[in-house]
Amino acid sequence: MIHIVLYEPEIPSNTGNIIRLCANTGAQLHLVKPLGFELDDKKLKRAGLDYHEYARMKIWENLDECIANLKSQGVDLDAIYPLTTKGVETPHTSDLNRSIALLMGPETRGLPAHVRLMFPQQHWIRLPMAETSRSLNLSNATAIILYEAWRQQNFKALI
C-alpha cells in the first residue's frame, strides 16, 4: 500500500490533481488540517474532475492522528518519507518496495523542521532539479514519487 499524506495543503487545484492521481493508482490519500480551501471548492472539484468518488481519502485534524492511523495499517515512522529540499535520498535511491507513506508539505513553505525531524533523516527524499530551480509543483512532485514507489512495487494493485 502507498499512502500520500498532504500536510496542510493550501492550493485546491493541486489537491484536486492529487485526488485524481490517487484514484488512478489506488493510493490512499490523507489530508492533514488545516486545509487552505473548502472541500467543496470549485477549483478542487474541477482539477479532480469526476474522480473524487473513486479516490480513497481521509481527513485528519492533525498529523498525530494521521500517523496513528498509518501505524494501525502497518506503516511505521521509518516507512514515512518526507519530501524536502533538505533530503539526501531521491525516490530512485530509496527502498520504497513496502507499505509506505509519502509526506508532502504545504505548497508555499514545504514541511516545517519540526515535522521533518519526526522522521529518520535517511528517509528524507528530495527531487533532483537544476541548480537554479526552487521547487516543483506539488501535484507534479507527488506524481513523480508515487510512480517511482509503484514501479518499485512492480505496479501491484494498491487497492
CA distance 14 to 44: 8
Number of domains in the chain: 1
**Against a cut of 0.85, is the pTM above it?**
yes
C-beta of residue 70 within 8 angstroms of C-beta of residue 111? no
157 within domain boundaries: no
Q: Could you tell me if residue 159 is inside a domain? A: no
Among residues 28, 37, 57, which one has the least CA distance to residue 106?
37
| Residue whose entry in the numeric block shows the C-alpha cell 493508482 | 25
- pLDDT number for residue 46: 61
Placement of cell 516545517 in the chain: 112
Range of the domain at 36: 2-152
CB 2 within 8 A of CB 28: yes
Is residue 28 domain-resident? yes
Q: Domain with 84 in it: what CATH number?
A: 3.40.1280.10
| Dihedral angle over CA of 114, 56, 145, 35, nearest 10 | -40
**116 inside domain:** yes
pLDDT for position 51: 63
Residue 41 has a pLDDT of 56
The amino acid present at 125, given as its one-letter code, is: I
Cell numbers representing residue 69 in the block:
492511523
Within a domain: 139: yes
Residue 74 belongs to some domain of the structure: yes
Q: Which residues of the chain have pLDDT under 70?
A: 41, 43-52, 54, 159
Instruction: Give the pLDDT of residue 2.
Output: 96
According to the model, what pLDDT value does residue 107 have?
Answer: 93
Beta-carbon contacts of 108 under 8 Å, excluding residues fewer than 6 positions away, are: 10
Q: Report if residue 93 sits inside a domain.
A: yes
Give residue 139's pLDDT. Answer: 95
Give a yes or no: residue 158 inside a domain: no
